[in-house]
């Protein structure tokens, strides 16, 4: 499938580990691999739940590899936004219970991956942000749609429009995560929750999940997901997109032109 994702089965639980050191960034290969893997898990009637975490101790995932956007190529932007959408929508639509074990930094597309799961367990040292606007981009993998659903419009705007980074404690306070655990314990706790889910009827879980998600699967929310990707690609016609990505890669402060 891909070496950028590790997979193992633990009883009725599928465990996915994002494995792209040093920051577990996402690229075309890993996103396509995630979609394919989730499709296989959906077809495996022995899998009732899945847990996704990051390799190592520092990063859950730092999001997209920005080197992919350095040239300002709209075709690349469209393809990557499409792959992000397909992968994380597949994660959202997984028929069983999905749990993100956030073992470190979850930034940009990394946080959007966690937002696509049903539940999130964060370690106490974890930090979370959607900092795309700081580099002339926007969250294109469900962030602008899923974050306000969880934390409300105010905190979503603080994180997206102001680029505010939140600690695990603050994430728990605002409803971004369901539980905070000591360092090194997110995976164990996520697996415990997954085991609890496995004691339920898989058929009942699938039906209950559809009903719980029904409120956000109407046409308006689906249109929001599509518009998110379209506006992401539109940014590649701006000078600010090129300046933001180049400034990030060159480790300097961007000089915005507002055009």
Q: Which residues are catalytic?
A: 112, 132
Beta pairing partners, 51: 15, 99
Q: Report how far residue 178's alpha carbon sits from residue 146's, in angstroms, rounded to the nearest whole number.
A: 15
Rounded to 5 degrees, φ, ψ at 61 are -165, 135
Residues whose CB is less than 8 angstroms from the CB of residue 81 and which lie 6 or more positions away in sequence, other chains included: 140, 141, 229, 232, 233
- 193 three-class SS: helix
Structure tokens at 203: 């058929």
Q: Which pairing describes strands 5-10 and 13-18: parallel, antiparallel, or unpaired?
A: antiparallel
DSSP label of 216 = G
Beta pairing partners, 123: 181
Structure tokens at 181: 């655990």
Q: How many Cβ atoms sit within 10 Å of the Cβ of residue 214?
A: 9
Rounded to 5 degrees, φ, ψ at 89 are -70, -35
């Amino acid at each position: 499938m891909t070496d950028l994702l590790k997979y193992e089965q633990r009883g009725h639980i599928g465990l996915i580990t994002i494995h792209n050191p040093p920051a577990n960034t996402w690229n075309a290969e890993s996103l396509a691999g995630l979609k394919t893997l989730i499709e296989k898990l959906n077809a495996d009637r022995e899998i009732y739940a899945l847990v996704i975490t990051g390799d190592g101790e520092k990063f859950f995932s730092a999001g997209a590899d920005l080197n992919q956007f350095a040239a300002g190529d709209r075709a690349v932007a469209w393809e990557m936004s499409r792959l992000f959408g397909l992968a994380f929508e597949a994660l959202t639509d997984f028929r069983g219970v999905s749990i993100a074990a956030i073992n470190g930094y979850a930034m940009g597309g990394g946080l959007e991956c966690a937002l696509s799961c049903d539940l999130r367990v964060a370690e106490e040292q974890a930090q979370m942000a959607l900092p795309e606007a700081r580099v002339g981009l926007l969250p294109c993998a469900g962030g602008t749609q899923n974050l306000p659903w969880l934390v409300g419009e105010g905190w979503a705007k603080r994180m997206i429009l102001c680029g505010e980074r939140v600690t695990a404690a603050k994430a728990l306070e605002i409803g971004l995560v369901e539980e905070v655990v000591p360092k090194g314990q997110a995976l164990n706790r996520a697996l415990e929750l997954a085991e609890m889910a496995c004691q339920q009827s898989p058929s009942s879980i699938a039906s209950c999940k559809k009903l719980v998600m029904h409120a956000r699967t109407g046409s308006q929310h689906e249109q929001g997901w599509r518009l998110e990707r379209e506006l992401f690609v539109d940014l590649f016609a701006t000078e600010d997109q090129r300046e933001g990505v180049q400034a990030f890669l060159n480790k300097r402060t961007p000089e915005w032109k507002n055009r």
